[in-house]
Amino acid sequence: QGTACHVNGSERITAAISEYLGIGNGETTEDGLFTLENVACLGCCSLAPVIMINGEAYGNLTPDSAVSVIKSLQEKEGK
């Protein structure tokens, strides 16, 4: 995790996403929609903390807003 994300609570966000999806780092959900992968840096420091899904960055997250992003994408997929 990059410094900006780390100091802005990325560990809490990772934990919230992991708990919600029921997967750990390096694992993929049973439906194949999400893989949780911790990376060193996404280069979006001004948006920290940030997640990237299918090449799109979502930033200035809290644990709740990160899970909301996931839920929204699941709804779009009908899951």
Q: What is d(CA 4, CA 42) in angstroms, rounded to the nearest whole number?
A: 11
Indicate whether 8 pLDDT > 80.
Answer: yes
Indicate whether 78 pLDDT > 90.
Answer: no
Q: What is the pLDDT of residues 33-50, one digit of tens each?
A: 999 999 999 999 999 999
Between 63-76 and 10-21, two packed helices, what is the crossing angle to 10 degrees? Answer: 40
Q: What is d(CA 54, CA 67) in angstroms, rounded to the nearest whole number?
A: 16
Q: Which amino acid is at 43?
A: G
What is the chain's mean pLDDT, rounded? Answer: 96
Domain layout of the chain by residue ranges:
3-76
pLDDT attached to residue 79: 72
- Which residues are CB-contacts of 68 (< 8 A; sequence separation ≥ 6)? none
Residue 77 structure tokens: 């997929």
pLDDT (mean) for 12-20:
98
Determine contact, residues 67/20, Cβ cutoff 8 Å: yes
CATH class of 3-76: alpha beta
Using 50, 70 and 90 to split pLDDT, how confident is the model at 7?
very high
pLDDT (mean) for 9-31:
97
